[in-house]
């Protein structure tokens, strides 16, 4: 039986790596992947604490986080595709004009 | 046994997460992200949340990664491969900021769990995390979020179709 | 928990060992006599023209995206189907809430249909 704290450590490290990806990568798709990584880390925290607190609520939250993530990925990637069609790049430093 | 599995999953998850961020080619990033998702599903199984583990594999490792790979293929990112990482000061500040953040979170977890352990160790009943327990809560107490989720999915369908079209037809 | 998952774990280990074994064995046992013709992509076909990575149609993307969203919808059905009989004894409420859920998503489906997102031009 592994203690809850160890799961939280792993989740914190995964979350940190996700934040790092958002900060240093300049490719919009990889930034999006890093956001998914952060969502997964938070899900892991929810499930670990759901076991710790003997409550199903955390797992329900994870279920809804997955739903939101799927909708977010579909719309977000559609936005990235239309930006690429408009500007010919997904490099976020080159997408700096507010008016397309 | 569980400890060994946990260690294996943790090492693979963290290593492949680092490679997601560090690898130059977005296609490889996507593959490593799949590996991380599988490891998180493994954690869910170890924590007794079987249904969420299955959903994690079906939805994340299956569907969402297919979508990512589609977009990468669609955009034909040959030029983007050349310039993967931001400017040097961005990298330095990013790593410093993240190091501070992670150390803070780890310290808080240590304070909360290890230095002041809970009175009794958790004993997991086998029913927690089963599909039945989850459904029971989802369709009684969490009824409203469940219905709102369908509105969210509807918005997702409409938004993605509108944004994904080449050009908007006039009659609509 | 792990005790009941043990067969799955065993299967996983056996599958991985088998795949790894096949790769290693073919690498070690197979004879290797490469030649110009053997190394060409299609031995008796056309020479390939252009690069393998070309952009393909946006149509594939819209289909894949709709699949993801309806996949999530199906995931909600599993717990519903498991608890359906138990909760139906307390009234038809569980049936109604699922009908509302499906009804809202059916609107999205009709929109995709009318908009022509499902058609392959």
| Structural domains of chain A, with CATH | 4-94 (1.10.287.3510)
CATH numbers and ranges of domains, chain C = 2-43+55-114 (1.20.58.1610)
**Cβ-nearest to C2 among B2, B51, B150:** B2
Res C40 pLDDT > 70: yes
Coil, strand, or helix at residue A78?
helix
Give the distance from residue B135's alpha carbon to the nearest chain A alpha carbon, in angstroms: 9
Neighbours of chain C (3+ CB pairs under 8 A): A, B
A-chain residues within 8 Å CB-CB of C61? 77-78, 81
Q: Does C35 or A63 have the greater pLDDT score?
A: A63
Residue A44 has pLDDT above 90, yes or no: yes
Would you state the structure tokens that stand for residue B50, as one six-digit string? 């079987």
Contact assignment for B73 to C58 by CB distance below 8 Å: no
Judge: A70–C71 Cβ closer than 8 Å, yes or no.
yes
B/e letters for A60-93, b = 16+ CB within 10 Å, e = fewer, are bbbbbbbbebbbbbbbbbbebbbbbeeeebbbee
Size of interface A-B (CB pairs under 8 A): 231
Strand, helix or coil for residue A35: helix
Which residue matches tokens 């908007």? B168
Q: What is the ipTM score, two decimals?
A: 0.90
| Per-residue confidence (pLDDT) for residue B164, from 0 to 100 | 75
> Would you say B152 and A68 are in contact if contact means Cβ atoms under 8 Å apart?
yes
Residue B26 corresponds to which tokens in the numbers above? 């977005």
Mean of all residue pLDDT scores within chain B: 82
| Mean pLDDT within A4-19 | 93
Our CA angle for C91, C92, C94, nearest 5°, is: 105
Nearest C-alpha neighbor of C86 from the set A56, B132, A55: B132
**What average pLDDT does the segment C69-79 reach?**
89
pLDDT confidence band for B119 (50 / 70 / 90) = low
B48: left (phi over 0), alpha (psi -120 to 50) or beta: left
Which two three-digit tokens encode residue B111?
């304070």
pLDDT at B171 over 50: no
Q: Which residues does residue A55 pair with via DSSP β-bridges, in sequence order?
A: none
* pLDDT, position C44: 72
- Looking at the DSSP assignment, which residues form a beta bridge with residue B85? A25
Report the DSSP beta bridge partners of residue A44: none
How many other C-beta atoms can be found within 10 angstroms of the C-beta atom of residue B84? 19
B149: nearest Cα among C108, A62, A67 = A67
| Three-state SS annotation for B14-62 | HHHHHHHHHCCCHHHHHHHHHHHHHHHHHHHHHCCCHHHHHHHHHHHHH
Q: What is the pLDDT of residue C2?
A: 58
Could you tell me the pLDDT band of residue A100, with boundaries at 50, 70 and 90? very low
Q: Which residues contact C22 (CB under 8 A, 6 or more apart)?
A: none
In chain C, which residues have their Cβ closer than 8 Å to the Cβ of B166?
58
φ, ψ at A91 (rounded to 5°): -85, 115
For residues B82 and A21, the answer to whether their CB atoms sit within 8 Å is no
The C-alpha atoms of residue A80 and residue A28 are separated, in whole angstroms, by: 7
Please state the φ and ψ torsions of residue A27, each to the nearest 5 degrees. -95, 125
Q: How many CA atoms lie within 13 A of C109 on its CB side?
A: 11
SS (H, E, C) C82-104: HHHHHHHCCCCHHHHHHHHHHHH
Query: In the prediction, which pLDDT does B172 show?
Result: 41
Give pLDDT, residue B168: 46
> A87: which 2 tokens?
């500007």
d(CA C9, CA C7): 5
What torsion, rounded to 10 degrees, do the Cα atoms A49, A44, A2, B18 define?
A: -150
More confident residue, A49 or B83: A49
Give the pLDDT band (50/70/90) at residue C12.
Answer: confident
Domain segments of chain B: what residues?
2-126
CATH code for the structural domain at B2-126: 1.20.120.1200
Residue A81 touches partner C, C-beta closer than 8 Å: yes
CA distance B2 to B47: 10
CB within 8 Å of chain C, chain A residues 10-69? 66-67
Is residue A100 within 8 Å of A87, Cβ to Cβ?
yes
């Amino acid at each position: 039986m592994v203690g809850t704290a160890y799961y939280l450590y792993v989740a914190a490290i995964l979350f940190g790596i996700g934040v790092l990806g958002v900060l240093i990568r300049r490719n919009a798709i990889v930034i999006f992947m890093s956001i998914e990584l952060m969502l997964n880390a938070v899900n892991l925290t929810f499930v670990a604490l759901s076991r710790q607190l003997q409550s199903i609520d955390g797992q329900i939250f994870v279920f809804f986080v997955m739903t939101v993530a799927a909708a977010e990925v579909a719309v977000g990637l559609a936005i990235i595709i239309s930006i690429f069609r408009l500007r010919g790049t997904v490099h976020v430093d080159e997408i700096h004009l507010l008016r397309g | 046994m569980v400890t060994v599995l946990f260690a294996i999953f943790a090492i693979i998850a963290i290593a492949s997460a680092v490679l997601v961020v560090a690898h130059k080619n977005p296609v490889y990033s996507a593959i490593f992200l799949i590996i991380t998702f599988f490891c998180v599903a493994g954690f869910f199984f170890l924590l007794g949340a079987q249904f969420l583990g299955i959903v994690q594999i079906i939805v994340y490792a299956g569907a969402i990664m297919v979508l990512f790979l589609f977009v990468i293929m669609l955009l034909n990112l040959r030029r983007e491969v050349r310039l993967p990482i931001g400017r040097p000061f961005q990298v330095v500040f990013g790593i410093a900021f993240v190091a501070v953040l992670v150390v803070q979170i780890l310290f808080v977890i240590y304070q909360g769990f290890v230095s002041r352990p809970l009175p009794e160790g958790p004993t997991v009943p086998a029913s927690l995390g089963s599909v039945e327990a989850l459904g029971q809560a989802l369709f009684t107490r969490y009824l409203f979020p469940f219905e709102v989720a369908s509105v969210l999915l509807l918005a997702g369908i409409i938004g993605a179709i509108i944004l994904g079209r080449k050009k908007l037809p006039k009659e609509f | 928990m792990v005790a009941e998952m043990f067969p799955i774990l065993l299967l996983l280990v056996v599958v991985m060992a088998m795949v790894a074994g096949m790769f290693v064995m073919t690498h070690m046992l197979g004879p290797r006599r490469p030649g110009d013709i053997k190394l060409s992509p299609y031995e008796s076909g056309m020479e390939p023209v252009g690069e393998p990575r070309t952009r393909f149609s946006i149509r594939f993307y819209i289909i894949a995206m709709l699949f993801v969203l309806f996949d999530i919808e199906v995931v909600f059905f599993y717990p519903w189907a498991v608890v359906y009989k138990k909760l139906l004894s307390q009234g038809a409420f569980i049936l109604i809430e699922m009908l509302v859920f499906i009804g809202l998503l059916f609107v999205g489906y009709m929109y995709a249909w009318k908009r022509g997102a499902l058609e392959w031009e």
